[in-house]
Structure 1
Amino acid sequence: MLDDKDEALILALERDARASVVALAREIGLSRSATQERLGRLQRGGAIAGFTVVRGRADGRTRLAAWLMIRHARGGTCARSVVPLKRIPEVKAVQSLAGDPDLLVQVSAADAADLNRIAEAVRALPGIGEVTTHVVLTDHLRRP
């Protein structure tokens, strides 16, 4: 169970995952060693799953973002589909859904041809039935 200090630490890291332990300790009102111990406990317990970089547009490259809506073929299951999807580097997130479709898959492609290649690779996986592609036109809000 997370307490108020744990929540404050996680929120501080969501704002700046590169903050030093000293800066985090100052922000949440604990000593450096107490903050370091909490950070380790939160990581070991799974409350903090990792630290990441969100690529900005400053590198001059634009990527095409899309969502693939997947319906399983007869006999297909989420558990069996997720393993090969994880092996596709352009796949950024995979979520099982209640209802139709069965899976929601976020992908990042270099361009339309690359997106088509990725979608075709997903269609070729065992247990995958129908794949519908939705290209993201505008990111209105993105939170960590």
Structure 2
Amino acid sequence: MPKNPRDGIDAQILSELRQNARISLAQLGEKVLLSRNAVRQRIERLERDGFINGYTIKESAGDGAATVNAVLLIQRQDRMRGGDVIAGLRAIPEITTCDVVSGELDLVARVEAPDAARIQEIWRQVSEFPGVRDITTALSLSTVIDRQLARDGGPRS
């Protein structure tokens, strides 16, 4: 990704979108003193140049039920040929992120599931993947910082 937007107006557009990703082009144009069409063109260029890499929706469970979050700390048998483990993790929809990390661990996968029983099912499934040596699971008791939600235009703490 490029280091800096082209100018102050691009930076202001990005800042406004971080605060409210659903702002209309007309409202955004008023804030940055450009026409709706000029704002649209700048946003398209920011997307092409890699400043805006995608859009996402964070949904609740629908009935107000909270999700259960956990982190799977995974050690593979062979770091260099452990692609099958990553492919298996990709197939589990509740795994929201997975990072390859340095040190004794190999992978850190974040899981968002409807309940602890589903977390346990996912743990069992992942532990049976060929190439998985060990898994440590940490259930989240509460989230005290969620900068991703704030970046995506949601409530801020």
User: What TM-score, normalized to structure 1?
Assistant: 0.85
Alignment of 1:35 onto 2:46: no
Q: One-letter code of the match for 1:112?
A: A
For 1:68, which of 45, 62, 72 is the aligned residue? 72
2:14 is matched with which residue? Answer: 10
Q: Tell me how far apart the structure 1 counterparts of residues 130 and 43 of structure 2 sit (CA, whole Å).
A: 40
Q: Tell me how far apart the structure 1 counterparts of residues 69 and 138 of structure 2 sit (CA, whole Å).
A: 9
> Quick check: 2:79–2:106 contact (8 Å CA) kept in 1?
no
Q: One-letter code of the match for 1:72?
A: R
Identity %: 30
Query: Pairwise mapping of residues 82-97 of structure 1 onto structure 2 (< 5 A)?
Result: 82-97=86-101
> Quick check: 2:70–2:139 contact (8 Å CA) kept in 1?
yes
Runs of 4+ in structure 1 over 4 Å off: 75-80
1:123 is matched with which residue? Answer: 127
Q: CA RMSD in A?
A: 2.2
Residues 23 and 72 of structure 1: CA distance in aligned 2, closer, same or farther (over 3 Å): same
**Structure showing greater relative contact order (alpha-carbon pairs closer than 8 Å, 6 or more residues apart):** 2
1:45 is matched with which residue? Answer: 49
Query: Pairwise mapping of residues 79-118 of structure 1 onto structure 2 (< 5 A)?
Result: 79-118=83-122
For the residue of structure 1 that corresponds to 2:134, the secondary structure is strand
Deviation per CA, 1:47-101, whole angstroms, max 9, x where unpaired?
Answer: 2122222235774211100111111113555654333212110010111112231
Deviates more, 1:128-137 or 1:10-19: 10-19
Q: Tell me how far apart the structure 2 counterparts of residues 102 and 36 of structure 1 sit (CA, whole Å).
A: 42
Q: One-letter code of the match for 1:99?
A: G
User: What TM-score, normalized to structure 2?
Assistant: 0.79
> Quick check: 1:22–1:32 contact (8 Å CA) kept in 2?
yes
Aligned length: 144
